[in-house]
Amino acid sequence: MVPVDLRPTAHQVNTNQSGTNNWAGRFGPNDERIIANELMTDVNDWVGGSLPSTAPFLEIAYLRGFRAPQVFIVPVDQRRAITAIDKIQLYGMHVFGGDIIDFRPVFKNVV
């Protein structure tokens, strides 16, 4: 992950096939693993990390295992009388949480 200003430099490093460049091609043939983050303001900083399949660092859990939002119809007895005529009230619920399980797979270089 690099600031937006460093995106061209990251592309150049990834595509430079000279013998001294150890980073050539590591971010995919079409730069698909280079992420330009507009929230990073310092053009000298960069962030790196591993693939989640190799070394996971974040865990996301869902309430009762429901990964998709649940949609419910409000029962008739709980609706107000003015909205009960020719209308169906719905409500949705999507409960999840996350936590960092290991800090080592993600790193940032602050220059």
Pair 56, 45 in one domain: no
pLDDT tens-place string over residues 59-95: 999 999 899 999 988 776 666 655 556 677 788 999 9
Q: What tokens appear for 98 in the block?
A: 């996350």
Residue 109, in any domain of the structure? no
Please state the pTM of the whole predicted model.
Answer: 0.52
Pair 19, 38 in one domain: yes
pLDDT tens-place string over residues 85-103: 667 778 899 999 999 999 9
Pair 37, 12 in one domain: yes
- The total of structural domains in the chain comes to 2
**CB 71 within 8 Å of CB 92:** yes
Residue 73, in any domain of the structure? yes
Domain of residue 12: give its range. Answer: 1-49
**CB 57 within 8 Å of CB 105:** yes
